[in-house]
Amino acid sequence: MKIHFLVAALAFAGFSLCANAASEEPISPIKPPANINLGMVELGKKLFFDPRLSRSGFISCNSCHNLSMGGSDNLPTSIGDRWQQGPINSPTVLNSSLNFVQFWDGRAADLKEQAGGPIANPKEMAFSHTLAVSMLQTIPGYVREFKQVFGKNTIDIDQVTAAIAEFEKTLVTPNARFDQWLLGKKDALTETEKQGYALFKDSGCVACHYGEAVGGDSFQKMGVIKAYKTTNPAKGRAEVTGKDADRFNFKVPTLRNVELTYPYFHDGAVNTLPEAVDIMGQLQLGKKYTPEENAKIVAFLKTLTGDQPMILLPILPPSADNTPRPNPFGK
Amino acid sequence: MKIHFLVAALAFAGFSLCANAASEEPISPIKPPANINLGMVELGKKLFFDPRLSRSGFISCNSCHNLSMGGSDNLPTSIGDRWQQGPINSPTVLNSSLNFVQFWDGRAADLKEQAGGPIANPKEMAFSHTLAVSMLQTIPGYVREFKQVFGKNTIDIDQVTAAIAEFEKTLVTPNARFDQWLLGKKDALTETEKQGYALFKDSGCVACHYGEAVGGDSFQKMGVIKAYKTTNPAKGRAEVTGKDADRFNFKVPTLRNVELTYPYFHDGAVNTLPEAVDIMGQLQLGKKYTPEENAKIVAFLKTLTGDQPMILLPILPPSADNTPRPNPFGK
């Protein structure tokens, strides 16, 4: 991991003083999604907003990845079925298609694999894939739409997660002021913001926060130089690999829309960007930013807020008389 | 109440056989809302979707009045702060501006008065008006928008509830097939649906379910001919007036979009329209509908589903560094 860190730092060192061409920068503008199946997107949008995919009938994907709030719930850890406290901070769904793997510990390879997780997680939506599919199968509006999109008479969980993933692929946030600047609009950033970006590069943040998502492309240890203190028991990547060397290794989160995705870190323990920047500097880079430096980096980070997806709220097909009803309070 | 009932029945008896002119029918088409303040609507929409108006940061107005699901939560009773079980079925917010009073027991005179209730109810959003206002006052995006809409430098709860109410005034559902038929589109209804409407009028349903909202215009006793059996302790209007005569008197719910607003009745105990029609016939009218009659009335009721509001999901202004954070799990 340390080698990765150094290589990345060296690789980007050459670019830190030149800021005129997008292709030479370690951060690249968000590209509009391509190869999108619009039928799957519309179906996936309904499923994303449908609380019937939870045991209680109350929690939808959008409950914790709220598209009104930067694709997150702005809570330290999420609220699950029966108000259970979630184990880790909900990562934003925005630009999540750009992550190299999904979840903080990378246990899902892609969005499709991720989408099935919370539905069946007893601490989250607390349903099961079987129950979800048999519920959907009773709703005429869904049966017709799945048939139209997938061309089959029966619904299965692969179709459900594929549709949700296809919708999520559309949830990118282009046109951030930083991207406008990368794409040639010289006055898109203030001097302070440009100085913040220079600091972000020069002091090594780009070693992990690079690319289209400004992160989301590697696992890194939380606490490289100094240990991160937390009461959160999450072990990170080690929970997937079983290797002690992967302890506290987490997927580097995207910094796109970071202004909207507070609180920060895998435990959601830090409420503000100045505090998050300060901790990152000390723990990951061994650097104590001055208040002025900190403010400049924060100013730069706020230029990464892009156009939020325009979502026309879906109208969900009503349950039929024989649709199993949710179980919000019973055992 | 019984007098009201009889007067209404007599008043509409004359219309039950003529179905050609909207003005002669006991049900009138939904009119587009007038005198709307668009600035207040946009602000109110944000507030309606903002879970920061709850103590937990998780529950918004839309949680229980979900605009993807007929303006209701499709649960018998709602889930409140810390997963508390709500006392009564959440009425739909759709067309709620047409109700003569708000809540099942009519304890709020209008939408503005209603909007303040759930925010401060310890079983619902469990916040307080003071905390809600001081939270909003720290969010620059809200401070600017309130100033633009209300022309003042400070936010107060009256502005908050006025904006939410103004948004809710826009949540009408015109253009139902039944309204198209009322407005002259002769083939908008099938023969079965027209027969269902004739039955609805002739057997007395219109005595309470009349007007633009097909209800929402009077208090009536739940269980006129036979008692309604429920484990729900709600006393209805008696809780407001203190009069025993008002026991089990509830505001007649709107039948607009009733296909979408299951489960039914103030206790949400009935899942399907055929069952609800059967119970209403027996308890309110002393009439046992045949399966054919029941199916016809249900077919008619489904023609009352109107165009659902097209809601562009609002993007909420982010909290500032000094915004008090929600309290989802603490005491």
Residue B274 contacts residue A321 (beta carbons within 8 Å): yes
pTM, full prediction: 0.93
User: Maximum distance among all alpha carbons in chain B?
Assistant: 65
Collapse the DSSP code of B263 into the 3-class scheme (helix H, G, I; strand E, B; otherwise coil) and give the result.
coil
What's the gap between Cα B288 and its chain centre? Answer: 28
Collapse the DSSP code of B166 into the 3-class scheme (helix H, G, I; strand E, B; otherwise coil) and give the result.
helix
Question: Residue B69: which of A66, A76, A316 has the nearest Cβ?
Answer: A316
- pLDDT tier at A11 (50, 70, 90 boundaries)? very low
**Chain A with chain B: Cβ pairs closer than 8 A:** 98
Hey, is the C-beta of A50 within 8 angstroms of any chain B C-beta? yes
Handedness of CA A263, A265, A268, A271 (dihedral sign): negative
Among chain B residues, the shortest Cα distance to A276 is held by B321
Q: Kindly list the residues from chain B whose CB atom is less than 8 angstroms away from the CB atom of residue A74.
A: 52, 57, 319, 326
Q: What's the mean per-residue pLDDT of chain A?
A: 94
Task: Name the residue among A297, A298, A291 with its Cα closest to residue A262.
Answer: A298
Hey, is the C-beta of B328 within 8 angstroms of any chain A C-beta? yes
Contact A67 B271 (CB under 8 A): no
Report how far residue A60's alpha carbon sits from residue B168's, in angstroms, rounded to the nearest whole number: 23
Report how far residue A249's alpha carbon sits from residue A95's, in angstroms, rounded to the nearest whole number: 21
Domains of chain A in sequence order:
2-30+177-302 (1.10.760.10), 38-169 (1.10.760.10)
| Helix (H) or strand (E) run with residue B85 in it | strand B84-85
Tokens standing for B123? Answer: 């079983």
Over residues A97-135, the pLDDT tens digits come to 999 999 999 999 999 999 999 999 999 999 999 999 999
Higher pLDDT, A330 or B40: B40
- pLDDT tier at A23 (50, 70, 90 boundaries)? low
Over residues A273-317, the pLDDT tens digits come to 999 999 999 999 999 999 999 999 999 999 999 999 999 999 999
- What local confidence, expressed as pLDDT, does residue B18 receive? 41
Beta-carbon contacts of residue A174 (< 8 Å; ≥ 6 apart): A29, A30, A31, A32, A306, A307
Q: Which residues of chain B have pLDDT under 70?
A: 1-23
* pLDDT above 50 (res A60): yes
Report how far residue B194's alpha carbon sits from residue A76's, in angstroms, rounded to the nearest whole number: 55
Report how far residue A293's alpha carbon sits from residue A277's, in angstroms, rounded to the nearest whole number: 10
- What is the C-alpha R_g of chain B? 21
Contact A313 B312 (CB under 8 A): yes
φ, ψ of residue B108 in degrees (nearest 5): -115, 135
Annotation marks residue A191 as catalytic: no
Q: Which of A124, A145, A168, A212 is catalytic?
A: A124
Collapse the DSSP code of B63 into the 3-class scheme (helix H, G, I; strand E, B; otherwise coil) and give the result.
helix
- What local confidence, expressed as pLDDT, does residue A14 receive? 39
Hey, is the C-beta of B86 within 8 angstroms of any chain A C-beta? no
Tokens standing for B308? Answer: 């659902």
ipTM of the complex: 0.93
Among chain A residues, the shortest Cα distance to B312 is held by A312
- What local confidence, expressed as pLDDT, does residue A331 receive? 83
The conformation of residue B249, written as its DSSP 8-state character, comes to E
- Beta bridge mates, B312: A312
- What local confidence, expressed as pLDDT, does residue A24 receive? 86
Tokens standing for A206? Answer: 């780009």
- What local confidence, expressed as pLDDT, does residue A22 receive? 46
Report how far residue A319's alpha carbon sits from residue A313's, in angstroms, rounded to the nearest whole number: 18
Q: Kindly list the residues from chain B whose CB atom is less than 8 angstroms away from the CB atom of residue A326.
A: 74-75
User: What percent of chain A shows pLDDT beyond 70?
Assistant: 93
Residue B70 contacts residue B92 (beta carbons within 8 Å): yes
Contact A318 B79 (CB under 8 A): no
